[in-house]
Amino acid sequence: MVDQKNNKSQPGQQKSPWNRFGYGWLYLLILALLIVPSLLTGFSSPKEISWQQFTRDILSRQAVEKIVVVNNEKAEVYIKKEFAKDTMFRDVFKPSFGYGIKRGPHYTFNIGSVELFEGKLKEAQKEFSINQEIDVTYTKRGNWFLSVLGWIITFIVMLALWRFLLRRSGGWGAGGSSVFNFGKSTATLVEKKKSAITFNDVAGLEEAELEVREIVDFLKNPETFTKLGAKIPKGIILVGPPGTGKTLLAKAVAGEAQVPFYSISGSEFVEMFVGVGASRVRDLFKQAKEKAPSIIFIDEIDAIGRSRGKGAFMNSANDERESTLNQLLTEMDGFGTNSGVIVLAATNRADMLDPALLRPGRFDRHIYLELPNMKEREAIFKVHLRPLIMDNTIDIAFLASQTPGFSGADIANICNESALIAARKKKGKIGKEDFLDAIDRIVAGLEKKSKIISPEEKKIIAYHEAGHAVVSWLLQHVDPLVKVSIIPRGKSLGAAWYLPEEKQLRSKSAFAEHLCATLGGRAAEEIIFGEVSSGALDDLEKVTREAYMMVMYYGFNKKIGNVSYYDSTGERNMGIQKPYSEETGEIIDEEVRKLVSDAYQQSLDLLKQNKANLQKVAELLLKKEVIFKEDLESILGIRIANPQNMGIATEPRSKTLEQV
Ligand code: ATP
């Protein structure tokens, strides 16, 4: 559907001067240069003879007109004209072309050395009593044929190199990255009616869809708006986590609006040469204006739109980015509001963008896309299940309930992965199990049943996972446990799966209990084996990060108070410039350590009180390898979870699993 490079004149298809006249003439010339001299020299070359032949047949008959010694190596013998009709010399007087007689040289022979030649010649003259003084001249002659050949070969090599470079860089002026086309925009143009994606392919983004649908209306019927005096927005920026459908939404706009759609990624403006980015922006807007009404879509705009003049170290790459951004700002101001070019942009990091870009008049509208909720996930599943062949065990609502925190892209991936899994099992239809396997695979990686684990290690892993399971079962604010496994997957040796509730806020106690549950694995190891292992690395990393977040970001710590060192702009380099004093830094470290050790102590206490249950869960795990919620219920009883569990969700708590 995409598919035409933007340059309206299609320079890639233009015939280059070489192509236009063909290479034929060039090849002919080369051939001529190679062949003609050899023809000429071949036909007119003198006859090679020996010294004896020379003295016996030529010198003795006094037929020599003159001798020319070339390069002190060869003697060329010219025969007197009056011998032209002599049967002996008739052949050598035959001309190469046309009529008349050949002027010579007629014979040639090697002389050995000049002294030798001169001595021998004198002796021979004496021997044959020739009184005539023979005219001997000496000359130096270069091999012009070889030098011409060398020149031709150099020329051919250079020509081949030139053609190779042209082809590597996209042809003679073709596309944006050609040697001659650095400054040209590399945007892909999706022509009218070519984009196959419509709003039917986008699910669960109702509000966002409504907003972008308006763009389609602006472009299709601008008068409806302008007659009331309204100005058509110039830019719309789509902001959201990866995979939430920003690009998809933009493609759907292209499909629905039926106007030319220029799609480019922010990074495509950036080239190693200064000024190229700005020139590409200019070119892109020029083309879009020529084809107005049209849409420009800039994906990952943060590549050029980052705040100017910030960052600790300025360098030339920064200058280039800034000049590209300045050009973008100018262009967005430049075209009149109603010129019919609408700019769509997408980014994961709106907080990093330059405020000038986001002000009204440029990107007027900001559309925030979030990770889909349960209902939205159901709708996205419906879109991606359309092409799949499934059996009747599939319950879409169940699938949506099992995938909290998953993005649209994750869901698309699950659907595809489940089809691959079913195909691998040689099934005719995809079943529920395949979907669950696909979810597990995406969450935790590929199952590695062949990994060799000793029975002792297996026991440690089982107790570690059982520790997570028991502690989280006993704490109210921790997400409900779905299953526990000691089958190695991806990098992990075992894992506990949780199903996070869909909530926007998390309370302080929810954070504290989460620390506790995460440390449950290590606590279990200490209680049962009296020693801890390296298997808790991942847990400790999570715990440390979360504890620092509690103290530094959320103001959960009394000593630090309601202060947050969170930097939503991402501009501060915490490693270099800390926003707090040395003393505060020490207090933070101390409080974090205290938080973690309190959580660990709580875990130890809980597990000591429930040691028998811990052992039962671990034994069951060792026996079955994977145990589910129901197995835990049979050992630990029905879990009472707190429905009022609240907290600030800082990162999607999706796909939560505690791994060894
Ligand atoms: P990034 O920020 O990483 O570029 P994005 O937000 O642009 O991500 P898309 O490229 O639009 O994400 O989404 C990737 C794929 O995920 C889409 O091709 C589509 O298959 C699927 N997808 C995402 N969101 C949705 C949705 N709301 N409805 C249907 N499919 C979706």
pLDDT in tens, 245-283: 888 888 888 778 778 888 888 887 776 555 677 788 888
Beta carbon of 203 within 6 Å of any ligand 1 atom: yes
pLDDT in tens, 464-518: 999 999 999 998 888 888 888 888 887 778 888 787 777 778 889 899 999 999 9
Atom of ligand 1 nearest to the CA of 249: 11
The length of the chain in residues reads 660
SS (H, E, C) 472-521: HHHCCCCCCEEEEECCCECCECCEEEECCCCCCCECHHHHHHHHHHHCHH
Task: Output 158-163 pairs: Cβ under 8 A, ≥24 positions apart.
Answer: 159/26
Atom of ligand 1 nearest to the CA of 379: 28
pLDDT in tens, 132-167: 788 888 888 777 778 888 888 888 899 888 888 777
Atom of ligand 1 nearest to the CA of 409: 16
Name the packing angle between helices 537-552 and 520-529 (round to 10°).
130
Architecture of domain 188-368: 3-Layer(aba) Sandwich (3.40)
pLDDT in tens, 273-284: 556 777 888 888
What b/e sequence results for 297-308 when a residue is b if at least 16 CB atoms lie within 10 Å of its CB, and e otherwise? Answer: bbbbbbbbbbbb
Nearest one of 547, 554, 553, 561 to 590, comparing CA atoms: 547
Q: What's the rounded Cα separation, in Å, for the pair 466 and 265?
A: 47
- pLDDT score at 586: 92
Beta carbon of 246 within 6 Å of any ligand 1 atom: yes
Mean pLDDT for all residues in the chain: 79
Among 29-43, 126-140, 581-595, name the one with the lowest average pLDDT: 29-43
Average pLDDT over residues 387-403: 84
- pLDDT score at 488: 84
Distance 427 CA to ligand 1 centre (A): 28
Specify the higher pLDDT residue, 33 or 156. 156
Helix H or strand E segment including 356: helix 355-358
Question: Model confidence at 541, in pLDDT bands (50, 70, 90)?
Answer: very high
Average pLDDT over residues 546-556: 93
Beta carbon of 204 within 6 Å of any ligand 1 atom: yes
Fold of 15-169: name from scop (3.40.1690)
Options 1.10.287.3510, 2.60.40.10, 1.10.8.60, 3.40.710.10; CATH of 374-444: 1.10.8.60
- pLDDT score at 134: 84
By alpha-carbon position, which residue is closest to atom 21 of ligand 1? 409
Domain borders along the chain are 15-169, 188-368, 374-444, 455-659
Beta carbon of 248 within 6 Å of any ligand 1 atom: yes
Contact between residue 621 and residue 460 where contact means Cβ atoms under 8 Å apart: no
Q: What's the rounded Cα separation, in Å, for the pair 418 and 6?
A: 38
- pLDDT score at 63: 87
Atom of ligand 1 nearest to the CA of 369: 6
- pLDDT score at 608: 93
Question: Model confidence at 573, in pLDDT bands (50, 70, 90)?
Answer: low
pLDDT in tens, 38-74: 555 445 678 888 888 888 888 888 888 889 998 888 8
Q: Which two tokens stand for residue 351?
A: 């907080």
By alpha-carbon position, which residue is closest to atom 18 of ligand 1? 248
Average pLDDT over residues 359-376: 84
465 is catalytic: yes
Answer yes or no: pTM beyond 0.85.
no
Beta carbon of 245 within 6 Å of any ligand 1 atom: yes
Name the packing angle between helices 276-290 and 316-334 (round to 10°).
20
Q: What's the rounded Cα separation, in Å, for the pair 417 and 437?
A: 9
Beta carbon of 242 within 6 Å of any ligand 1 atom: yes
Distance 411 CA to ligand 1 centre (A): 9
Beta carbon of 443 within 6 Å of any ligand 1 atom: no
Question: Model confidence at 552, in pLDDT bands (50, 70, 90)?
Answer: very high
- pLDDT score at 1: 36
Helix H or strand E segment including 31: helix 24-44
Beta carbon of 247 within 6 Å of any ligand 1 atom: yes
Question: Model confidence at 597, in pLDDT bands (50, 70, 90)?
Answer: very high
Single-letter residue type at 97: F
10 Å CB burial of residue 509 (0-12, 13-18, 19+) is middle
CB atoms within 10 A of CB 579: 13
Q: Has residue 631 got a pLDDT over 80? A: yes
HSE of 641, CA atoms in CB hemisphere, 13 A: 14
Backbone angles phi, psi at 149, to 5 degrees: -65, -45
- pLDDT score at 480: 83
CA–CA distance from 391 to each of 256, 377, 419, 422, 429 (Å)? 33, 20, 12, 11, 6
Looking at 378, 465, 546, 591, which residue is catalytic? 465
Beta carbon of 233 within 6 Å of any ligand 1 atom: no
Nearest one of 332, 295, 302 to 242, comparing CA atoms: 302
- pLDDT score at 293: 80
Distance 252 CA to ligand 1 centre (A): 11
- 455-659 classified as CATH 1.10.40.50: no
Contact between residue 34 and residue 219 where contact means Cβ atoms under 8 Å apart: no
Distance 441 CA to ligand 1 centre (A): 20
Beta carbon of 355 within 6 Å of any ligand 1 atom: no
Atom of ligand 1 nearest to the CA of 376: 27
Distance 240 CA to ligand 1 centre (A): 10
Among 111-115, 520-524, 644-648, name the one with the lowest average pLDDT: 644-648
Question: Model confidence at 301, in pLDDT bands (50, 70, 90)?
Answer: confident
CB atoms within 10 A of CB 15: 10
HSE of 423, CA atoms in CB hemisphere, 13 A: 8
Contact between residue 249 and residue 212 where contact means Cβ atoms under 8 Å apart: yes
Q: Has residue 572 got a pLDDT over 80? A: no
- pLDDT score at 652: 34
Q: Which of 206, 244, 298, 301 to mutate to test the pocket of ligand 1 (most atoms within 8 A of CB)?
A: 244
Specify the higher pLDDT residue, 195 or 359. 359
Nearest one of 546, 522, 538, 493 to 653, comparing CA atoms: 546
Q: Has residue 568 got a pLDDT over 90? A: no
- pLDDT score at 647: 34
Q: Has residue 592 got a pLDDT over 90? A: yes
- pLDDT score at 649: 33
Q: Which two tokens stand for residue 168?
A: 């590597």
Nearest one of 651, 538, 544 to 588, comparing CA atoms: 544
Same fold, 374-444 and 455-659: no
CB atoms within 10 A of CB 3: 9
Q: What proportions of the chain, in percent to the nearest 5, are helix, strand and coil?
A: 50, 10, 40
